[in-house]
């Protein structure tokens, strides 16, 4: 069965520092991987996806993610964090039937 | 204009009642979804419809019944509400069932007392 895991419930970063939100996946076959962000009291917003091609994927709001097949990881990164990046981040994998299977979420807190 | 909208935003009701949540998308998408987010923020798909046809039906109690009157609307009716049904319910849509990106509504916070 397809699954993703986000090993950190919370990540704390100082504004201006680089941030990483971790995700590992377990799939049979080629993975279709996604990152979504949920701001307080809002629905999820799509950030980026990896389907095929370059391992470094660029997305919205300056975020990027690196697909690493050997480590089965798809970590979300940003070179310089903003306070406004504080939110709940979800990694997801898409199964063959089209379902998105989400990780448990990581709360990112960026302090000034 | 809101792409995916849900009503109501908040719903407080007593155990045993029947309630409905409505979802509409104005994106012209063919596929719509219902997700449930529990108190620990865990998000799981419940149903998906493609052009009014049910294509995903997860292990959900049959007290939950989705209905899609047309491809722009997907409603969720819940019978005999239980305390454990308290959650945030999100509607989403995608261009079609093969599309990678899903667009989410703002959510409906259901509280069962």
Total domains in chain A come to 1
Q: What is the pLDDT of residue A96?
A: 78
Could you tell me which chain A residue has the CA closest to the CA of B89? A43
The tens-digit pLDDT sequence of chain B (113 residues) is 669 999 999 999 999 999 999 999 999 999 999 999 999 999 999 999 998 899 888 878 999 999 999 999 999 999 999 999 999 999 999 998 888 889 999 999 999 99
Whole-angstrom Cα Rg for chain B: 13
φ and ψ at A18, to 5 degrees?
-70, 150
A55 band by pLDDT with thresholds 50, 70 and 90 = very high
Contact A57, A35 (CB under 8 A): no
Partners of residue B101 in chain A, C-beta under 8 Å: 46, 49
Cα–Cα distance for residue pair A31/A23, rounded to 1 Å? 13
Cα–Cα distance for residue pair A55/A20, rounded to 1 Å? 16
A102 Cβ contact list (under 8 Å, min separation 6): A4, A36, A90, A91, A92, B42, B43, B44
Q: What is the pLDDT of residue B65?
A: 94
Q: Does B103 touch chain A (CB under 8 A)?
A: yes
Find the CATH number of the domain harbouring A38: 2.60.40.10
Cα–Cα distance for residue pair A61/B54, rounded to 1 Å? 35
Q: Residue B99's closest CA among B32, B37, B42? A: B32
Cα–Cα distance for residue pair B61/B82, rounded to 1 Å? 11
Partners of residue A101 in chain B, C-beta under 8 Å: 45
CA distances from A37 to A11, A71, A88, B47, B82 (A): 14, 23, 6, 21, 29
Domain that holds residue A92: 3-111
CA distance B105 to chain A (A): 5
Q: What is the pLDDT of residue B94?
A: 93
**pLDDT > 70: percent of chain B:** 98
Burial class (CB in 10 A: 0-12, 13-18, 19+), B2: exposed
Contact A55, A73 (CB under 8 A): no
DSSP B102: -
CA distance B15 to chain A (A): 24
A95 band by pLDDT with thresholds 50, 70 and 90 = confident
Write down all domains in chain B, each with its CATH number in brackets: 4-112 (2.60.40.10)
State whether A104 and B56 contact (CB < 8 Å).
Answer: no
Contact A65, A77 (CB under 8 A): yes
Judge whether residue A97 has pLDDT over 80: no
Q: What is the pLDDT of residue B1?
A: 60
Cα–Cα distance for residue pair A7/B96, rounded to 1 Å? 32
By mean pLDDT, which of A15-19, A56-60, B37-41, B97-101 is the weakest?
A: B97-101
């Amino acid at each position: 069965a397809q699954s993703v895991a986000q090993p950190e419930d919370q990540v704390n970063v100082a504004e201006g520092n680089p941030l990483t939100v971790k995700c590992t996946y377990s799939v049979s076959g080629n993975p279709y991987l996604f990152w979504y962000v949920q701001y307080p009291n809002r629905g999820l917003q799509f950030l980026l996806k990896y389907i095929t091609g370059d391992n470094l994927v660029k997305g919205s709001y300056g975020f990027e993610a690196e697909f690493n097949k050997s480590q089965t990881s798809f970590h979300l990164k940003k070179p310089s964090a903003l306070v406004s990046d504080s939110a709940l981040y979800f990694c997801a994998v898409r199964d063959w039937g089209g379902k998105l299977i989400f990780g448990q979420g990581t709360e990112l807190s960026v302090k000034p | 204009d809101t792409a995916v909208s849900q009503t109501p935003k908040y719903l407080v009701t007593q155990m045993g009642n029947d309630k409905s949540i409505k979802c509409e998308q104005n994106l012209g998408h063919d596929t719509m979804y219902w997700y449930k987010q529990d108190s620990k923020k865990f998000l799981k798909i419940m149903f998906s419809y493609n052009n009014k046809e049910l294509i995903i039906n997860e292990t959900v109690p049959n007290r939950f019944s989705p209905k899609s009157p047309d491809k722009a609307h997907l409603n969720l009716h819940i019978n005999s509400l239980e305390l454990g049904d308290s959650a945030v319910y999100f509607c989403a849509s995608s261009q079609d069932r093969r599309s990678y990106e899903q667009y989410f509504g703002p959510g409906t916070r259901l509280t069962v007392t």
